[in-house]
Amino acid sequence: MSRSARLFDLIQALRRHRRAVSAVVLAEELGVSKRTIYRDIETLIALGAPIDGAAGIGYLMKPGFILPPLMFTEDEVEALALSSRWIAQRADPDLVTAAENALAKIAAVLPVPLTVALDNSGLLSASPRSSVEDSIDPAVVRAAIRGQRKLRIKYADEAGRTTERDIWPIALVYFEAVRLLVAWCEMRAGFRHFRSDRIAEVVDTGERYPRSRQALTKAWRDSQSPSACCQKLTHPRCSLLAT
């Protein structure tokens, strides 16, 4: 492995750890000696990487340090191309455009061999057999999730009964044919899962919900098994859909 590739892998390892990590752990992850980690840390700091810590204490890299995308591997480039194609077949127009723009920005600074790999990747995404259309603007939902703001929605259940609810949106899950909005429902005083195609109206109230999205997401994950959630969604009478 070249030294430049090893330095890049070290930065990626530091990014994966949100707390200070020892040279011993880093050395085990990268398959090198502690002495090599110490030298490479010193090199990265000299190059401007915002790394705090010291030998015997541990190291932590502050967020915001960016390396040129030319450091992508061929596998990483193919993963980006595949994810962009998947999004293009299943997301709304705004998200499709965002994915295309992001890929174009990366392609503009990639070396020629990787640009070829990006344009001619053999990894393809199959089109979904069927897909439902949303009557709402998903961008409103995504913005509310990022801003941790309450939404007021009109929602129709499986029987067609419509209710108006104030919800705290925390995630939008993309399946083959449908999107599922995960939220705390004030009316039901619990987490509910709303199919986006059954939401007739959505209004961003501008009001922040009282708990952080991170805390709500953890509580939601603790309340059920995500794998079980995915399995039940294939059932026509899915018990996880909002009622």
Q: 136 to each of 133, 139, 197, 206, how far by Cα in Å?
A: 9, 9, 8, 17
Encoded tokens for 53: 């810590």
With respect to residue 31, please indicate whether it lies within any of the assigned structural domains.
yes
Are residue 228 and residue 143 in the same domain, yes or no? yes
Q: How confident is the model at residue 228 (pLDDT cuts 50, 70, 90)?
A: very low
Strand partners, 26: none
Contact of 192 with 242, CB cutoff 8 Å: yes
Q: What is the mean pLDDT of residues 19-35?
A: 92
Q: Are strands 179-185 and 51-54 parallel, antiparallel or unpaired?
A: unpaired
Are residue 114 and residue 29 in the same domain, yes or no? no
Contact of 55 with 45, CB cutoff 8 Å: no
Strand partners, 58: 54
The string of pLDDT tens digits covering residues 81-133 is: 899 888 888 888 888 898 888 888 888 777 777 788 888 888 888 887 767 78
The domain of 195 spans 138-232
Are residue 91 and residue 42 in the same domain, yes or no? no
Domain count, the chain: 3
With respect to residue 147, please indicate whether it lies within any of the assigned structural domains.
yes
With respect to residue 237, please indicate whether it lies within any of the assigned structural domains.
no
Q: Output phi, psi for 148, to 5 deg.
A: 55, 50
Q: Domain holding 29: CATH number? A: 1.10.10.10
With respect to residue 125, please indicate whether it lies within any of the assigned structural domains.
no
With respect to residue 199, please indicate whether it lies within any of the assigned structural domains.
yes
Rounded Cα gap, residues 105 and 69, in angstroms? 9
Model-wide pTM > 0.75? no
Q: How confident is the model at residue 237 (pLDDT cuts 50, 70, 90)?
A: very low
Q: Output phi, psi for 178, to 5 deg.
A: -130, 160
Contact of 24 with 62, CB cutoff 8 Å: no
What torsion, rounded to 10 degrees, do the Cα atoms 97, 98, 99, 100 define?
50
Mark which of 61, 81, 101 sits at the end of a domain: 61
Rounded Cα gap, residues 39 and 124, in angstroms? 41
Q: Which residue type, as a one-letter code, is found at position 188?
A: R
